[in-house]
């Protein structure tokens, strides 16, 4: 069976895996974005808190994903839980870092102007600082998504959902007739999903970055 | 001397619904700074040290002083962007030192050097910010945006929807001023608002501000490095030393003719007499009549008038009565009766609002030693010549000297404007709502 025949045979399973993969990444990204921006907002004004948040987030990233999932399984069991936790944790770093850098990069005279015309602290943040920091935050989200696409494949190790299952099945039966097809289908599927998400982010950028600050 | 501004009472600022936009606008409130001190943590000495100052309702006060002297710090304590270490701030008699700073700032316009416009919002959105925050209705905000753009000389249709980066520096600065004035605050704080634009634009913006202030009578506190700007804009100038110590607080005339000490003289710089010319406007001197004809007059009439006129010269006006050419006797016959070729074009005119310095400049350049004065639409209103200017300057300096002498004999400290009793507007807008 060549690769195309394999795809033709298994497309239903592959589509279901792809959908689950995308859905897991998407949901984890939503959580990571909310958490990441929140952490950024809470820490960017303080030198040490901001640095601590960034360092902690990069610390997590240095843990190999397989090891992290391995460590999570005894704590939360198999399946969705370790997958979600791992993905959210990995997704945090680029978002937290870019949120802090973006918020700190807002021209201080604009913050001064916002205060000066009588904006409350919350209004300054929501109406001025976050919109101006949004382009770098969005970049962080994009980078995080790309990363999670790959990392999500590892989740299959913990019986998580997604295209990783395809890859692991292939790897565990190396030498069998479909092994290569399985690895190839899983990998290509992930690459395709990543490209698709990226296209969506370009669109999101177009829609959400105000015209006045679009590059 | 600038006239003492008289605050009109009954201005409706606090009572939002009562004043339709464009109707009554809030005129200035008096500001009193009492023993204001700011000590930044970690600095060996205070940046503003025990400053007491009385700013009258409706006047423009300019802070000038050396860089790092604490001007910005002093200014920002008025709207409490910087909290004073000690001292009180009163606006219209009310102590605002402890009120909610956010509410306070909505009643104080704030314009800064880099315009401070939010780049992700359109011009209209920027201007609408404060009116929206204080709860104006949508339609009222919309009207107000148009009105403010008109006020600062930008066509609403063209500029409303633009983003700040699509504006020139001068236009951004105008929008910055429009935003600061949008909710009709009685007080306007400006920190080197024209510091970053080229000299010609700066000059225009200064003229605009003078015109605005003529209409609005806000209390304006203006910070600058530029003493000429201070002279041009200020009803009174506070020359500040280090730590915002007041070296002299008086009218521009008094500071120019009677600087309190060497520090102030140093700031005034050379050419005080020339700078004095900036303080008087063409409308304050005698504008002479000049024989005129228009391009539509029959040629024969023009010939006759030229022959009869004493100075052997006529000013030819165009169809809109704007100065067009200087015609001397003989010019017409040399040009074989063609008005198009006869005479010399009028290069330069001044308006009634131009300073005597501008007028002198124009007179010096003109080979006939005079300049035509024009009205609002550029129409001819008269002529100013060298002799008039000389006489006026002599009179002016004489008057200044007399005034300075009186000042001294009255024994008044420079900080206290003795001849202007402090006028407070009892019915004016109060601080908090
Ligand atoms: N946030 C701050 N923390 C510590 N020191 C400050 C702070 N802001 C200003 N200073 C100090 O206070 C002094 C006065 O500063 P300020 O900005 O008020 O001066 P300025 O007169 O406005 O100067 P410039 O004309 O250059 O704008 C300076 O010595 C400055 O270093
Ligand atoms: Mg300053």
pLDDT, tens only, B328-351: 888 888 888 788 888 889 988 998
Query: What gap in Å lies between CA A198 and CA A208, rounded to an integer?
Result: 15
Could you tell me whether strands B108-112 and B94-95 are parallel, antiparallel, or unpaired per DSSP bridges? unpaired
Chain B residues lying within 8 Å of A120, measured CB to CB = 102
Whether B44 lines ligand 1, by a CB cut-off of 6 Å, is: no
- Decide if A118 and B121 are in contact by the 8 Å CB cutoff: no
A63-109 pLDDT, tens digit per residue, is 888 888 888 888 888 888 888 899 999 999 899 999 999 999 999 99
**pLDDT on residue B101:** 94
Nearest to B112 among A109, A120, A212 (CB): A109
Query: For every residue of A40-102, which 3-state class applies, written as one string?
Result: HHHHCCCHHHHHHHHHHHHHHHHCCHHHHHHHHHHHHCCCHHHHHHHHHHHHHHHHHHHHHHH
Decide if B123 contacts B162 (C-beta within 8 A).
yes
Pick the residue whose CA is nearest to atom 29 on ligand 1: B68
Residue B112, number of CB atoms within 10 A of its CB: 25
**pLDDT on residue B324:** 92
**pLDDT on residue A195:** 94
B8-46 pLDDT, tens digit per residue, is 333 333 333 333 344 456 788 999 999 999 999 999 999
Nearest to B17 by CA among B100, B137, B122: B137
Å between B103 CA and nearest CA of chain A? 7
**pLDDT on residue B31:** 95
B51-106 pLDDT, tens digit per residue, is 999 999 999 999 999 999 999 999 999 999 999 999 999 999 899 999 999 999 99
- pTM, to two decimals: 0.77
Nearest to A211 among B79, B116, B163 (CB): B163
Decide if B148 contacts B181 (C-beta within 8 A).
yes
**pLDDT on residue B309:** 76
Chain A residues lying within 8 Å of B164, measured CB to CB = 212
ipTM higher than the 0.90 cut: no
Element (H, E) at B32: strand B31-38
pLDDT higher than 90, residue A26: yes
Nearest to B164 among A109, A116, A212 (CB): A212
**pLDDT on residue B408:** 67
**pLDDT on residue B24:** 56
Closest ligand to Cα B66: 1
Chain B residues lying within 8 Å of A211, measured CB to CB = 163
**pLDDT on residue A114:** 96
Q: Which residue did the predictor score with more confidence, B270 or A199?
A: A199
Segment B212-241 mean pLDDT: 92
Segment B133-153 mean pLDDT: 93
Percent of chain A clearing pLDDT 90 (strictly above): 53
Pick the residue of A106, A117, A127, A207 with the most B CBs within 10 A to test the interface with B by mutation: A117
**pLDDT on residue A176:** 83
Out of B38, B42, B43, mutate this one to test ligand 1's pocket (max ligand atoms within 8 Å of CB): namely B43
**pLDDT on residue B114:** 85
**pLDDT on residue B195:** 86
Segment A156-178 mean pLDDT: 83
Whether B72 lines ligand 1, by a CB cut-off of 6 Å, is: yes
**pLDDT on residue B330:** 82
Segment A111-124 mean pLDDT: 95
Residue B364, number of CB atoms within 10 A of its CB: 11
Chain B CB within 8 Å of residue A137 CB = no
Segment B174-198 mean pLDDT: 92
- For chain B, what are the domain ranges? 10-269, 284-389, 396-426
B231-278 pLDDT, tens digit per residue, is 989 999 999 999 999 999 999 988 988 888 889 988 887 777 778 888
Segment B147-167 mean pLDDT: 92
Chain A CB within 8 Å of residue B180 CB = yes
Classified by CATH at the fold level, domain B284-389 comes out as CBS-domain (3.10.580)
- For chain A, what are the domain ranges? 3-214
Query: What gap in Å lies between CA B7 and CA B59, rounded to an integer?
Result: 9
Segment B305-310 mean pLDDT: 81
Query: What gap in Å lies between CA B253 and CA B235, rounded to an integer?
Result: 10
Chain A residues lying within 8 Å of B130, measured CB to CB = 117-118
Q: Does domain A3-214 have CATH number 2.60.34.10?
A: no
Query: What gap in Å lies between CA B351 and CA B374, rounded to an integer?
Result: 5
Residues B10-269, CATH architecture: 3-Layer(aba) Sandwich (3.40)
Taking the centre of ligand 1 as the mean of its atom positions, its distance from the CA of residue B2, in whole angstroms, is: 32
pLDDT higher than 80, residue B197: yes
Q: In sequence order, what are the residues at sequence separation of 6 or more whose Cβ sits closer than 8 angstroms to the Cβ of residue B27?
A: B7, B8, B11, B57, B58, B186, B216, B217, B218, B425, B428
- Decide if A118 and B105 are in contact by the 8 Å CB cutoff: yes
Segment A171-189 mean pLDDT: 86
Å between B209 CA and nearest CA of chain A? 19
**pLDDT on residue B193:** 92
**pLDDT on residue B2:** 42
Pick the residue of A118, A125, A207 with the most B CBs within 10 A to test the interface with B by mutation: A118
| B window 61-120, beta carbon within 8 A of A | 79, 81, 102-110, 112-114, 116-120
pLDDT higher than 70, residue B421: no
Pick the residue of B129, B164, B181, B184 with the most A CBs within 10 A to test the interface with A by mutation: B129
Nearest to B133 among A109, A118, A131 (CB): A118
Q: Do domains B10-269 and B284-389 have the same CATH topology?
A: no
Segment B105-116 mean pLDDT: 91
Taking the centre of ligand 2 as the mean of its atom positions, its distance from the CA of residue B233, in whole angstroms, is: 18
- Per the prediction, chain A carries an average pLDDT of 90
Reported as a pLDDT band with limits 50, 70 and 90, residue A110 is: very high
- Decide if B116 and A110 are in contact by the 8 Å CB cutoff: yes
For tokens 């007080």, the residue is B187
Reported as a pLDDT band with limits 50, 70 and 90, residue B410 is: low
**pLDDT on residue B366:** 85
Instruction: Return the structure tokens found at A54.
Output: 């960034």
């Amino acid at each position: 069976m060549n690769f195309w025949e394999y795809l033709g045979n298994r497309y239903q399973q592959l589509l279901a895996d792809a959908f689950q993969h995308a859905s897991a990444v998407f949901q984890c990204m939503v959580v990571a974005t909310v958490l990441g921006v929140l952490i950024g907002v809470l820490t960017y004004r303080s030198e040490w808190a901001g640095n601590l948040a960034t360092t902690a987030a990069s610390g997590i990233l240095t843990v190999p994903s397989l090891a992290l999932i391995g460590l999570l399984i005894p704590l939360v069991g198999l399946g969705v839980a370790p997958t979600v936790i791992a993905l959210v944790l990995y997704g945090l770093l680029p978002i937290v870092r870019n949120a802090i850098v973006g918020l700190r990069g807002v021209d201080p005279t604009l913050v001064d102007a916002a205060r000066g015309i009588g904006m409350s602290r919350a209004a300054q943040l929501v109406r001025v600082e976050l919109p101006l920091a949004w382009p770098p935050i969005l970049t962080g989200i994009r980078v995080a998504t790309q990363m999670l696409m790959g990392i999500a494949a590892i989740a299959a190790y913990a019986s998580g959902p997604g295209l990783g299952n395809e890859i692991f099945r292939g790897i565990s039966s190396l030498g069998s007739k479909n092994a290569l097809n399985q690895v190839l289908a899983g990998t290509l599927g992930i690459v395709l999903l990543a490209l698709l998400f990226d296209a969506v982010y370009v669109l999101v950028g177009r829609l959400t970055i105000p015209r006045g600050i679009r590059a | 001397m600038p006239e003492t501004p008289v605050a009109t009472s009954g201005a409706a600022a606090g009572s939002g619904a009562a004043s339709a936009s464009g109707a009554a606008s809030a005129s200035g409130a008096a500001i009193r700074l009492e023993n204001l001190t700011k000590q930044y943590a970690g600095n060996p000495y205070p940046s503003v040290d025990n400053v007491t100052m009385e700013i009258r309702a409706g006047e423009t006060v300019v802070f000038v002083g050396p860089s790092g002297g604490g001007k910005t710090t002093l200014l920002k304590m008025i709207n409490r962007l910087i909290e004073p270490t000690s001292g009180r701030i009163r606006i219209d008699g009310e102590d605002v030192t402890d009120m909610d700073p956010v509410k306070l700032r909505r009643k104080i316009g704030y314009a800064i050097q880099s315009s401070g416009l939010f780049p992700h919002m359109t011009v209209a959105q920027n201007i609408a910010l404060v009116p929206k925050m204080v709860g104006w209705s949508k339609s009222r905000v919309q009207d107000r945006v148009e009105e403010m753009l008109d006020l600062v000389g930008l066509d609403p249709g063209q500029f409303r929807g633009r983003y700040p980066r699509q504006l020139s520096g001068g236009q951004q600065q105008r929008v910055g001023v429009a935003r600061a004035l949008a909710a009709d605050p009685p007080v306007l704080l400006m920190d080197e608002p024209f510091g970053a634009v080229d000299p010609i634009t700066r000059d225009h913006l200064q003229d605009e501000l003078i015109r605005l202030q003529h209409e609005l009578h806000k209390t304006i506190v203006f910070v600058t490095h530029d003493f000429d700007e201070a002279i041009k804009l200020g009803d009174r100038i506070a020359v500040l030393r280090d730590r915002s110590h007041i070296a002299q607080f008086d009218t521009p005339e008094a500071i120019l003719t009677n600087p309190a000490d060497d520090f102030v003289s140093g700031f005034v710089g050379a050419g005080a007499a020339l700078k004095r010319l900036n303080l008087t406007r063409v409308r304050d001197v005698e504008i002479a009549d000049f024989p005129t004809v228009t391009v539509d007059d029959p040629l024969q009439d023009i010939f006759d008038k030229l022959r009869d006129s004493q100075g052997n010269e006529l000013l030819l006006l165009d169809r809109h009565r704007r100065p067009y050419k200087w015609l001397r006797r003989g010019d017409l016959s040399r040009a074989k009766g063609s008005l198009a070729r006869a005479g010399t074009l009028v290069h330069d005119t001044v308006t009634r609002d131009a300073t005597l310095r501008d007028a002198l400049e124009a007179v010096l350049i003109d080979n006939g030693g005079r300049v035509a004065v024009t009205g609002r639409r550029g129409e001819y209103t008269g002529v100013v010549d060298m002799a008039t200017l000389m006489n006026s300057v002599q009179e002016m300096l004489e008057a200044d000297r007399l005034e300075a002498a009186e000042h001294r004999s009255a024994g008044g400290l420079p900080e206290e404007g003795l001849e202007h009793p402090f006028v407070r507007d009892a019915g004016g807008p109060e601080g908090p709502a």
